Structure 1
Amino acid sequence: MLDVRRMQVLEAVLAEGSITAAARRLGYTPSAVSQQIAALEREAGLPLLERTARGVRPTQAGQLLGECAAEVGARVGETEALLADLRAGRAGRVSVCYYAGAGAALVAPAVTALRRERPGVQVDLRLTDPADPLPEVREGRADLALVLRAGGPPSEDGLRFTYLLSDAYRVLLPAAHPLAARETVALADLVGEPWVGSAWQGPCTDAVLAVCAASGFRPEFAVRSEDYLTAQAFVAAGLGVSVVPGMGAGPHVRDGVVVRDLGDAGAVRGVYAAVRATSPDHPALTAMLDALLRAASA
């Protein structure tokens, strides 16, 4: 097998035209350079240099190896530049799992900022079920996942969580509803009201259903809807009220619907970013997490 370092010594000899000049350039003795060339000739099985009165010139094999050495040196330089970009977070790839409600509020502004600041970083986005995206991270199919938890920070073996924000629930009411005149509505005020939404337990509803249970009632769902925009349409039609996360309420509210703050302190869910606890230093991932934190603080 050919030694790359010896090939680079040969390249210096060919560039300088003599062993003595190459030794000066490399900081070696002429004897050391000659030894490196002799060893490379044994590896190649052919003579590489022809002595002349004015120095040396390459044989066909020497010319071939010298050209290969130049190509290797160029590739090494390119590789070192790529590694420098990776170390500095100027390049790389990061894969993110997110749930639909976080797309507009967190992921889009974070990716926009990351592309502006680090255009060489590629972000792979995958929409997942908010119920359990953690296997994607734990098994290495994603670098980061956004997760929802009510009642405190999550704890999962092999994963590290970063708190992003608290997403308080809000009430959607028909514009003509008597409670629409209030600035704040409590869940207890909605006892006996027909509800629009999902009755299934999960990260999107756990906090609300728990507070309702603590208040001694369970919502009566007149219309089942998993989609917040569709829920707004049913509320506008007067079919019921709805309690949705703040990010689910969105910046654009349908005509005929008013949004009111929910006065129950426990009706809130935490949004966290999950990464593998054993994940090695990954500047692109760190940059993405920082962008998410800034989007959350905004």
Structure 2
Amino acid sequence: MLDVRRLQVLRAVVSSGTVTAAAAHLGYTPSAVSQQMAALEKQAGTALLERVGRGVRPTAAGLLLTEHAALISSAVAQAETALADLRAGRTGRLSVRYFATAGSALVAPALAGLRAEHPGIRIDAELTDPEDPLQELVRGRADLAVVVQGPGRVGRGFRLVHLLDDPYAAVLPLDHPLAHQEIVDLHDLSGEQWVGCEPPGPCLEAVIDSCAAAGFSPDFVIRSEDYATAQGFVAGGLGVALMPGLGLRDRHPGVVVRPVRNPEPVRVISAVVREAALEQHALRGLLGALQEAAASSGPPGTG
């Protein structure tokens, strides 16, 4: 195999015309340059230089390798430029995975901000419901995942960045006896029929665990994994529900929403990235943009 460094020495000798001039240009001694050329000729299996007066000129093989050395030098320079652009966040690709209610409230404004600051970044954003976005990150298919944090969900080698605490509220039909109250004790919903609106996972766990803390298990008579549809069932008088604030941005006119206490269920929304990937400037920029979006995107008021 030809030595790339020796090829560049050959290029310097050919362009300079003498070993001495090439040595001065490279900062080597003439003897070191001659040794490099001898070693390269041994690797090539043929003469690469021939003497002409006090200088040298390339043989056909030497000229061929000199041309390739120039291509290699150009390719290395391009690679260095591309690497610098990637490190600076001017180019590259980011894959983002998220769940539905985080999309419009957090991911969309964050990606818009990132694109404005880093227009050369290609963004691959994909909704993963009903799958867990974290699994896409663990499998190496994503650079960042927006997740609902649960105990022990993130292992070593990953960084968890808090974005938003998203409290659940009671969603009731307009004529429900508790609709006139400003705040609802969770236990007061223990005898109700319930409309489920969460797929299995940490969001549903937040509801189940809070109801258990209030002394009961919710009686789900209807299940829907879509908040808008679930609100329709509640408006029709088919049950009550607990829904997170981000899921209540589009309010059905046939429901009222009331804060809950004793306890108040809350889902913790976070971004997860690999520790090793944080050296990417664009990824750090995306994390910052998500935090800004979260800070300006509080849950909607009740009413």
Give the TM-score taking structure 1 as reference length.
Answer: 0.83
The total of aligned residue pairs comes to: 294
Equivalents in 2 of 1:199, 1:117: separation in Å? Answer: 35
Query: Is this contact kept in 1: 2:224–2:230, CA < 8 A?
Result: yes
SS in 2 for 1:260: strand
Query: Is this contact kept in 1: 2:168–2:243, CA < 8 A?
Result: yes
Query: Match of 1:48?
Result: 48
Query: Match of 1:267?
Result: 265
How far is 1:72 from its partner?
A: 0.2
Query: Is this contact kept in 2: 1:98–1:130, CA < 8 A?
Result: no
Equivalents in 2 of 1:285, 1:87: separation in Å? Answer: 10
Q: Deviations over 1:2-45 (max 9, x none)?
A: 11111111212222333333222222233332332232222222
Equivalent positions of 1:221-236 (< 5 A) are 221-236=220-235
Equivalents in 1 of 2:117, 2:4: separation in Å? Answer: 38
Query: Is this contact kept in 1: 2:197–2:227, CA < 8 A?
Result: no
SS in 2 for 1:239: coil
Query: Is this contact kept in 2: 1:130–1:147, CA < 8 A?
Result: no
Equivalent positions of 1:122-271 (< 5 A) are 122-129=122-129, 132-149=132-149, 153-154=151-152, 156-158=154-156, 160=158, 161-177=160-176, 179-198=178-197, 202-250=201-249, 252-271=250-269
Equivalents in 1 of 2:201, 2:57: separation in Å? Answer: 77
Query: Match of 1:289?
Result: 287
SS in 1 for 2:21: helix
Query: Match of 1:102?
Result: 102
Equivalents in 2 of 1:6, 1:124: separation in Å? Answer: 42
1:83 aligns to 2:83 (yes or no)? yes
Moved more, 70-79 or 185-194: 185-194
Query: Is this contact kept in 1: 2:165–2:266, CA < 8 A?
Result: yes
Q: 1:2 to 1:293 in 2, by over 3 A?
A: same
Equivalent positions of 1:52-71 (< 5 A) are 52-53=52-53, 55-71=55-71
Equivalents in 2 of 1:34, 1:157: separation in Å? Answer: 56
5+ residue gaps, structure 2:
297-303
Q: Percent identity?
A: 55
How far is 1:196 from its partner?
A: 2.3
RMSD: 3.0
Letter in structure 2 aligned against 1:293: Q
Give the TM-score taking structure 2 as reference length.
Answer: 0.81
SS in 2 for 1:205: helix
How far is 1:66 from its partner?
A: 0.9
Letter in structure 2 aligned against 1:292: L
Equivalents in 2 of 1:9, 1:166: separation in Å? Answer: 61
Query: Is this contact kept in 2: 1:138–1:158, CA < 8 A?
Result: no
How far is 1:247 from its partner?
A: 1.3
Letter in structure 2 aligned against 1:43: Q
SS in 2 for 1:90: coil
Letter in structure 1 aligned against 2:270: Y
Q: 1:281 to 1:239 in 2, by over 3 A?
A: closer
